[in-house]
Amino acid sequence: MGLAVRAARDLGLVLALLLPALAVQACAAASPGGPGELVVYAAREEELVGPIVARFQEDTGIRVRVKYGGATQIVAALLEEGEGSPADLFWTRDPGGLGAASPLLAPLPQGILDRVPPWARSRDGDWVGISARVRALVYNPERVSTENLPGSLWGLTDPLWRGRVGWSPTSSPTQTMITAMRLVWGEERTLQWLEAMERNGAVGYGNHISVVAAVSAGEVDAGLVNHYYAHRFRQERGGDVPVENYYFRDGGPGNLAMVSGAGVLATAKNPRNAEAFLRFMLAAPAQEYFSSQTFEYPVVEGVAVNEALTPLSAVNRPAVNMDDLGDLRGTLVMLRDVGVIP
């Protein structure tokens, strides 16, 4: 497909999704006999998912109210609200948040769960993946060549990389990666890695986009992020920026694949509308939106992957079950003990 054709297609999709976006904010009372409403608590970026939420509202007539925030903040709110929570559906960007909210979720219909492969859904059937992302090492090709990049996360602790690596240890995806390290490597080896990263002068940033910006500017030569940040950074800046993704040759937790997923609250007032939302997000048009517009991987078989992305089959990923990534508390304790976070 030519660049002009693809650009026109993507622009058309964006316009189609953006036109009704303002309607998501409007929450008029439901009319008698109407399709009703849906309350979503979303630990996702509004600018990324707002258009597809608006498309759901336009196509179904279900009025949507969305409360955006961080995963920790939203899970805390759900626990505090208890049975009186207005939320019907919880949607978050990584498995750690799903694991924390799992006790609050209701079982999903098998027809929804079967839309995705087993690795992208809960063993207990109470949440389902909507899109996927992979951990990556973003690097500056003007400062380091691919052959000189380390084979695994452990290589970043080599004195050769002293002060040259950026990361965001306060971000939930990084913490989920460290939770995976605890599962794959064990507690002691993960603790050793964290201590070695500290000794080696790993540079901390407040978020992943700041890591990518620092790599582009030459502040550091490489950084640990989710794969899509490099793609979005290039898109926002016209494409001509020195950032590329690298997946560790030797595999391991540094190549962890994670789902962004959602589940219906056991206390939902509108459970059928919440299930309709999940079916919509797992249908081809929404899956294509995530692939083409947010640079995430579709989780439904047969949906084309953005040609800018490395196929998941080409990434040496660790075999980690998403349900086992919920122990963020243990990871936070370890990070604080090492002094990585306050």
| Alpha carbons 300 and 89: distance in angstroms, whole number | 20
Could you give the percent of the chain with pLDDT greater than 70? Answer: 90
Kindly indicate whether the domain formed by 133-256+314-338 is annotated with CATH number 3.40.190.10: yes
Average pLDDT score, the chain: 90
* Alpha helix ranges (H) inside 19-104: 46-60, 71-81, 95-101
Question: Looking at the chain, which residues constitute the CATH 3.40.190.10 domain(s)?
Answer: 3-132+259-311, 133-256+314-338
Closest alpha carbon to 123 in 92, 98, 91: 98
Q: Classify residue 302 as exposed, middle or buried by CB count within 10 Å of its CB (0-12, 13-18, 19+).
A: exposed
Buried-state track 78-95, b at ≥16 Cβ within 10 A, e below 16:
beeeeeebebbbbbbbbb
> Whole-prediction pTM value?
0.86
* Residue 133 phi, psi dihedral angles, 5° rounding: -140, 160
User: Is the pLDDT higher at 8 or at 68?
Assistant: 68
| 231-240 contacts, C-beta under 8 A, 24 or more apart | 231/295, 231/306, 231/308, 231/309, 232/294, 232/295, 233/209, 235/295
DSSP E strands in the chain: the ranges are: 37-43, 63-68, 89-92, 128-139, 165-167, 203-204, 222-226, 244-246, 257-264, 297-298
| Alpha carbons 295 and 174: distance in angstroms, whole number | 19
| Alpha carbons 149 and 244: distance in angstroms, whole number | 12
- The tokens for 111 are 């027809």
Residues forming a β-bridge with 225: 136
Q: How confident is the model over 46-70, as pLDDT tens digits?
A: 999 999 999 999 999 999 999 999 8
DSSP 306: P
The total of other beta-carbon atoms located within 10 Å of residue 37's CB is 19
pLDDT of amino acid 21 = 39
CATH topology of domain 3-132+259-311: D-Maltodextrin-Binding Protein; domain 2 (3.40.190)
Q: How confident is the model over 227-249, as pLDDT tens digits?
A: 999 999 999 998 789 999 999 99
Encoded amino acid at 301, one letter: E
| Alpha carbons 74 and 76: distance in angstroms, whole number | 5
Q: Is pLDDT at 92 greater than 70 in this prediction?
A: yes
- The tokens for 327 are 């122990």
